[in-house]
């Protein structure tokens, strides 16, 4: 970080939360240098504010979680889908609420089987839990377990027998590895678009630090990598586009907490 700062760049980027500590350590003491962190928005300095020379960028990923729930619901033939988490932290619960909301918006009668591996790294726990969810009747699992879920695609393949297909929706593209033929879709964050847009603002004198800005569907902040041809259908695509338009127009917001989810249930989008 010291090397970058001394190079006199107009803007220094940190990509991902892993860069936050380094940037937060130097930004307050170098007010003439502009910094930005993408995919990170949580922490503030000791005064509870963001330094004016620092811009934080977050993705409204809850919109993606919702659409992945829509895909799960429209793709399920069994009337039951699963959510596989690693640890029950705030982010993973946010993913679960968003996913659940998407499933229920399509069909409130679909059963949602949820389980946590209590680990983000133990793939044996993730595999055992995935087997359990499939055994209980789910034919689609949303894999939000990190490294603990790296064997879920293979588990889906092993459970696809006797004419019954088992599917996985990956939380991000990095999880599509061992048996991609079982994957329905995955999420890709458009880091390039975000970096370009913020850099453009700086170039045109539109820079505004000291705040958090967000990128979602409306801004092209991410995209869903589509399912293979054999898994996609016009019905699934139509449903995704239908709810995508509603999210972009602001017709409803995706719940991120227990309270927001309870409120969402009282007024489901159509």
Give the closest residue to 215 by CA, choosing from 82, 80, 41.
41
Confirm whether 226 is domain-assigned.
no
End-to-end CA distance of the chain: 49
Two tokens, residue 242: 């239908």
7 and 37 assigned to the same domain: yes
Res 189: pLDDT: 87
Is it the case that residue 175 has pLDDT exceeding 60?
no
Q: What is the CATH number of the domain that holds 211?
A: 3.40.50.2300
Question: Rounded to two decimals, what is the model's pTM?
Answer: 0.88
Is it the case that residue 3 has pLDDT exceeding 80?
no
Domain that holds residue 134: 62-187+233-265
123 and 171 assigned to the same domain: yes
Chain centre distance of CA 181: 21
Taking only the tens place, the pLDDT of each residue in 113-162 is 999 999 989 999 999 999 999 999 999 999 999 888 888 888 998 999 88
Angle (CA) 103-108-111 rounded to 5° is 70
- 95 versus 172: the higher-pLDDT residue is 95
Residue with tokens 């993606």, as numbered in its chain: 64
Is it the case that residue 48 has pLDDT exceeding 80?
no
167 and 197 assigned to the same domain: no
Confirm whether 228 is domain-assigned.
no
Two tokens, residue 228: 């293979």
Is it the case that residue 243 has pLDDT exceeding 90?
yes
85 and 164 assigned to the same domain: yes
Confirm whether 223 is domain-assigned.
no
Q: Say whether 233 sits in a helix, a strand or coil.
A: coil
- Burial of 260 by CB count in 10 Å (0-12 exposed, 13-18 middle, 19+ buried)? middle
Confirm whether 87 is domain-assigned.
yes
Confirm whether 225 is domain-assigned.
no
Confirm whether 29 is domain-assigned.
yes
153 and 244 assigned to the same domain: yes
CA–CA dist 215, 229 (Å, integer): 29
82 and 162 assigned to the same domain: yes
Res 116: pLDDT: 96
Taking only the tens place, the pLDDT of each residue in 179-205 is 567 888 888 889 999 999 999 999 999
28 and 55 assigned to the same domain: yes
177 and 204 assigned to the same domain: no
Give the closest residue to 219 by CA, choosing from 60, 36, 41.
60
Residue with tokens 């980027």, as numbered in its chain: 13
74 and 106 assigned to the same domain: yes
Average pLDDT over residues 252-264: 96
Confirm whether 221 is domain-assigned.
no
Number of domains in the chain: 2
44 and 148 assigned to the same domain: no
Confirm whether 43 is domain-assigned.
yes
145 and 66 assigned to the same domain: yes
Res 130: pLDDT: 96
179 and 203 assigned to the same domain: no
Taking only the tens place, the pLDDT of each residue in 29-38 is 899 999 999 8
Two tokens, residue 233: 């259908």
């Amino acid at each position: 970080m010291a090397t970058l700062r001394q190079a006199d760049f107009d803007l220094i980027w940190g990509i991902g939360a892993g860069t936050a500590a380094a940037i937060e350590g130097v930004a307050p003491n170098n007010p003439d240098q502009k910094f930005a962190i993408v995919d990170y928005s949580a922490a503030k300095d000791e005064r509870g504010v963001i330094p004016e020379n620092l811009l934080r960028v977050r993705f409204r990923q809850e919109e993606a979680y919702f659409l992945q729930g829509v895909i799960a619901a429209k793709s399920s033939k069994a009337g039951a889908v699963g959510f596989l988490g690693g640890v029950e932290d705030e982010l993973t619960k946010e993913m679960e609420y968003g996913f659940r909301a998407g499933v229920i918006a399509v069909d409130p009668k679909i059963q949602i089987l949820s389980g946590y591996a209590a680990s983000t790294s133990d793939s044996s726990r993730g595999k055992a839990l995935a087997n359990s969810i499939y055994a209980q009747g789910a034919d689609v699992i949303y894999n939000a377990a990190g490294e603990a879920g790296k064997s879920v695609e293979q588990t889906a393949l092993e459970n696809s027998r006797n004419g019954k297909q088992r599917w996985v929706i990956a939380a991000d593209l990095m999880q599509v590895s061992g048996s991609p033929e079982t994957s329905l879709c995955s999420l890709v964050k458009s880091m390039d678009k975000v970096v370009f847009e913020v850099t453009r603002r700086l170039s045109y004198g539109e820079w505004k630090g000291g705040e958090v800005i967000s990128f979602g569907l409306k801004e092209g902040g991410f995209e869903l990598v589509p399912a293979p041809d054999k898994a996609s259908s016009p019905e699934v695509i139509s449903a995704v586009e239908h709810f995508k338009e509603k999210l972009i127009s602001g017709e409803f917001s995706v719940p991120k907490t227990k309270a927001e989810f309870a409120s969402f249930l009282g007024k489901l989008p159509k």
